[in-house]
Structure 1
Amino acid sequence: MRATIRDVAKLAGVSIKTVSNVLNDYPYLTPATKEKVERALAELDYRPNISARNLRRGRTGLIALALPSMRSPYFAEIAHLIVKEAETRDLTVLIDCTEGAREREQLVAEGFRSHLIDGMILQPWSLTAAYLRNRPDRTPLVLLGERLQRSADSVAIDSRAAAAAATEHLIGLGRRRIAVIGAPPQSQGAKRPQESGRRQQGYTDALARADLPFDPALVVHQLEHSPEGVAAAVDELLASAGDFDALFCFNDRVALGAIRTLHSRGWRVPEDVAVVGIDDIEAARLSTPSLSTISPDKQMIARTALDMLVERIDGLDRPARRVVAEFELVPRESTLGADGAGQE
């Protein structure tokens, strides 16, 4: 039978109130009393009833996490880290996949039109700033990514700076004809993540600083993220600008698919074309060649998102805050070659 707080109090020789004070980190307890209660808690393997505690506080202990896709290794890693961070705060995460659809994102932003969740973390692709400002539900909300970052608390890397760092890495290796896959076409409008536009800006920033001309033929507006879509984007690039010597892809999935396509077309990586991505997914370390990439501090993103959400759940009232997460360039074989890449 599961131990109760009454059992703990009896074993420790204290009142039920004293046990409750220990469980709730009441500051005015003598070390001897606290040690006695903690010893009893351990001996009985007592586990507090989180549901009952939340009920007393008017909470459910549930939060929602809504991401555009769970097929994306990056989003899967972020989801895993957020779930682990939530566990340390006695929170349970309900995960939803929006596919970037506005209707689905609105449903999340409205707290799933229920009172079952205490807060939510959302990576928006289609919502507008006006909608978030006027949303009917005021459930605490934290945004991932740079889109709509002034509409609610948000955390993301600086995509423009990250893209510039990736491009400068290629320039530093002597590459001068640097192609891009993943740039957002104008016709997609709000359907495309804002990060894509900022990554193209970072790419052009780096070219300008190195006095390298911008060539539109080197930029491919990839619309489809399937393996076939990546192959089509690479083939388009080979047809329009076959003399490129480097390739910057706006995420690692595209970069890995591009490497495969280049190999199948008789191009060597990195001898003929150096390739770099963004995200540092696990497959980037396991591929052949291993993929040079921009590595966002995913742990910081998950921890910061939970910190800001819990603050809002606890009633913090202040203007929306933007936190810029750290990132680092991780050079590997796809740009340095097997001899130049260090061991991780």
Structure 2
Amino acid sequence: MSDKIKVGISIGDVNGIGLEVIIKTLMDSKIMDYCTPIVYGHTKVASFHRKTMDLNEFNFNVINSPEEAHNKRANMINCWEEDVRIELGTSTPTGGKYAFISLERALDDLIAGKTDALVTAPINKHNIQSDDFQFAGHTEYIQAKTNAEDSLMFLVSEDIRVGVVTGHIPVNEVPEKISKEKILSKLTLMNQSLKKDFWIQKPKIAVLGLNPHAGDMGLIGKEELEIIIPAIAEANAQGIFAFGPYAADGFFAAHTYTQFDAVLAMYHDQGLIPFKQIAFHSGVNFTAGLPVVRTSPDHGTGYDIAGKNQASASSFREALFTAIKIVKCRRESSELSSNPLKLSKFSKDRD
């Protein structure tokens, strides 16, 4: 029996570029040297996308459960029996329905321990809404399904890591959603993840301000003085190396982010716009703070290029390899924590 890492993959919106970037990634047989991929979808839908790319030589190994996965093949579990109408480049209820079926099945197997990680292809946050899915996105759904108290949307790449205090909410709700306790919770999750998932022993975290010029000493808003600075102070008191608050514009323009292991932004676009500018083709969305490992590419459904064989698989490939690396780091961290002698030697080697 192989002990190779099994990575479940949900296909996202069938009318988008999800299956295109999945197939382009798994066409490289060297991927199977690092993991056993298991795609949750249907071979007929995959065949439709494969034909749009004129890839007659690629096929999935069809299985019924992760236990049957071939460790040298790209595997697929058929999650439904009926034919699916595909309308490439269009948002339809069908796209949302089958995106959810794929996600639910993949996540259930992950939670059950049948797979080791999950990589999610992009969904449409509107057409996936239903009685079973009433969440702002993947992150919130997976947090609820895994019964995690909190989670952190953590965008990572080789050059920069950015987390956000508030995620998929309207901008006018951001100030009321920011509190000392919430900032401290996100800093704690980020600090723990940097240590456990990325093996950074003494991470340095930069915290951005909410207002222009980080409030300019209270002249442009009081959140920095009343909420953010006290949260940073409390984090430091708890042994977290947090610094700031920094004015977001100058912080990224001057490349100050390169002096830190991660950055905590106050809201979605404050963190994701510079992140995508810096690492768009290699960025990965990682949900930190969960008992399971989940990553996704840092792009959307790509309706505008769906079916045109133009989608880059770079971000999806990075999401796959990031998931594998995090699983390995967590396994090693668990082994070290259960072996005091090995942990002592590891700490000396890292110092």
Same fold (TM over 0.5): no
Larger Rg computed on CA atoms: 1
TM-score (norm. length: structure 2): 0.27
TM-score (norm. length: structure 1): 0.28
By relative contact order (CA 8 Å, sep 6+), the higher-ranking structure is 2
